[in-house]
Structure 1
Amino acid sequence: MKKWLGIILTLVMLFSITSTALAAEKSNPWVDMPKGHWAYNAIAKLAQDGIVENSDNADKILTRYEVAKIVAKAVAHEDKANAEDKALIKKLSQEFSKELADLHVSISSIDQKANKINFGGILILKYDHQSAGTTPNWVFSTFNPKKYTPMQVEGCKFVLSANYRVSDIWTIQTMGEFTRDFEDVVSNGTGLTSGNRDETKGMWVSGNFPGYRMNIGRYPYKDATYGFVLDEFLSGAQIILGHPAQPGPGPGAGAGPSVTLNFGKIDQGYNLMNWRGLPSSWSFISSYAQNDPLFSDSAPGISSADIAYPLSPKTNLTADYIHLTSSDDSTSSKSFAVVGFDTKLSKNVGLKAVYSKSNYSTDNKGYMVGLTYKGAIPFVPHSWGAYLNWTKAEANSTISTVDYDIEDCVYGAKGITVGYEYVPRPGVIYMARYIHMVGTTSGYTDYKNDFIRVAALIPIF
Structure 2
Amino acid sequence: MKRQTAMALAAVFALSVAGTALAAPANPFVDVPAKHWAYDAINKLAQAGVISGYGDGTYQGNKTLTRYEVATIVAKAMANSDKADAATQKEIDALKAEFGAELNNLGVRVDNLEKNSSKVKFTGTIRARYDYQDKADTTDPDIDRTRERTRLRLNMEAPIAENVTFHGRYESQSDWGSSSGSEAKLTQAYIDGNVGAVGYSFGRQPIWLGQGLIADITGNCDGLVLSGGNKVKVAAGVFKYDTGIEADSNYNFAVANIDATVNRNLNMTASYIADKNELYYKTVSAGFAYTGIKNFALSGEYGINDSYNANSYNNGDEAKAWFAQLKYRGAQQDKIGSSGMWVGYRSAEKGFDPAEITTLDTGRYADTTYGNLDNIKGMELGVEYTVFKNGVLSVMYEDLDLKDPQAGQKKDKSGLWATLIYSF
- The two structures have a TM-score, normalised by structure 2, of 0.64
User: Is 1:308 equivalent to 2:259 in the alignment?
Assistant: yes
What CA distance in whole angstroms lies between the structure 2 residues aligned with 1:348 and 1:213? 33
What CA distance in whole angstroms lies between the structure 1 residues aligned with 2:321 and 2:255? 18
Amino acid at match of 2:237: N
Q: Pick from 317, 336, 340: which aligns with 2:287?
A: 340
Contact in 1 for aligned 2:352/2:374 (Cα 8 Å) = no
Contact in 1 for aligned 2:118/2:158 (Cα 8 Å) = no
* Cα gap change, 1:145 to 1:317, in 2 (>3 Å): farther
What CA distance in whole angstroms lies between the structure 1 residues aligned with 2:332 and 2:227? 26
What CA distance in whole angstroms lies between the structure 1 residues aligned with 2:278 and 2:351? 18
Q: Pick from 332, 342, 345: which aligns with 1:377?
A: 332
Q: Pick from 179, 187, 194: which aligns with 1:201?
A: 187
Amino acid at match of 1:262: G
Q: Pick from 236, 241, 247: which aligns with 2:228?
A: 241
What CA distance in whole angstroms lies between the structure 2 residues aligned with 1:183 and 1:215? 38
Contact in 2 for aligned 1:132/1:148 (Cα 8 Å) = no
Contact in 2 for aligned 1:390/1:417 (Cα 8 Å) = yes
Deviation at 1:110, TM superposition (A): 6.4
User: Is 1:259 equivalent to 2:234 in the alignment?
Assistant: yes
User: Is 1:459 equivalent to 2:414 in the alignment?
Assistant: no
Contact in 1 for aligned 2:253/2:275 (Cα 8 Å) = yes
Deviation at 1:424, TM superposition (A): 2.8
What CA distance in whole angstroms lies between the structure 1 residues aligned with 2:331 and 2:84? 27
Q: Pick from 320, 328, 331: which aligns with 1:365?
A: 320
**What are the residue-to-residue correspondences of 1:71-86 with 2, within 5 Å?**
none
Residue 449 of structure 1: aligned partner: 413
Amino acid at match of 1:365: K
Deviation at 1:441, TM superposition (A): 2.0
Residue 161 of structure 1: aligned partner: 155
Contact in 1 for aligned 2:348/2:374 (Cα 8 Å) = no
Q: Deviations over 1:187-214 (max 9, x none)?
A: xxxxxxx653421112111123443321
Between 227-236 and 367-376, the greater mean CA deviation after superposition = 227-236
* Cα gap change, 1:392 to 1:116, in 2 (>3 Å): same
Secondary structure of 2:414's counterpart equals strand
Q: Deviations over 1:269-310 (max 9, x none)?
A: 21xxxxxxxxxxxxxxx4xxxxxxxx5521111111011111
Deviation at 1:148, TM superposition (A): 8.4
Q: Deviations over 1:31-68 (max 9, x none)?
A: xxxxxxxxxxxxxxxxxxxxxxxxxxxxxxxxxxxxxx
Residue 89 of structure 1: aligned partner: none
Q: Deviations over 1:418-451 (max 9, x none)?
A: 2211123332111111122111126578522222
**What are the residue-to-residue correspondences of 1:40-439 with 2, within 5 Å?**
111=86, 115-134=118-137, 149-183=143-177, 195-225=181-211, 227-232=212-217, 233=219, 234-243=221-230, 256-266=231-241, 268-270=242-244, 286=245, 295-325=246-276, 332=279, 334-359=281-306, 360-361=310-311, 362=314, 364-398=319-353, 399-401=356-358, 402=360, 403=362, 404-406=365-367, 407-409=369-371, 412-439=375-402
Deviation at 1:324, TM superposition (A): 0.8
Between 351-360 and 375-384, the greater mean CA deviation after superposition = 375-384
What CA distance in whole angstroms lies between the structure 1 residues aligned with 2:377 and 2:157? 40
Q: Deviations over 1:152-205 (max 9, x none)?
A: 2223111101122111211222101121311569xxxxxxxx653421112111
Amino acid at match of 1:419: G
* Cα gap change, 1:110 to 1:161, in 2 (>3 Å): farther
Structure 2 unaligned residues grouped into runs of 5+? 1-15, 22-81, 90-113
Could you say which structure has the larger radius of gyration? 2
Give the number of equivalent residue pairs: 300
What CA distance in whole angstroms lies between the structure 2 residues aligned with 1:129 and 1:335? 33
Between 342-351 and 384-393, the greater mean CA deviation after superposition = 342-351
What CA distance in whole angstroms lies between the structure 2 residues aligned with 1:430 and 1:236? 34
Structure 1 unaligned residues grouped into runs of 5+? 1-74, 81-106, 135-143, 186-193, 244-255, 271-285, 287-294
Residue 94 of structure 1: aligned partner: none
Deviation at 1:374, TM superposition (A): 0.6
Q: Please give the root-mean-square deviation of Cα atoms over the aligned residues, in Å.
A: 3.0
Contact in 2 for aligned 1:133/1:149 (Cα 8 Å) = no
- The two structures have a TM-score, normalised by structure 1, of 0.59
* Cα gap change, 1:412 to 1:149, in 2 (>3 Å): farther
What CA distance in whole angstroms lies between the structure 1 residues aligned with 2:183 and 2:256? 32
Contact in 2 for aligned 1:308/1:319 (Cα 8 Å) = yes
What CA distance in whole angstroms lies between the structure 2 residues aligned with 1:176 and 1:146? 37
What CA distance in whole angstroms lies between the structure 2 residues aligned with 1:133 and 1:331? 29
Amino acid at match of 2:175: D
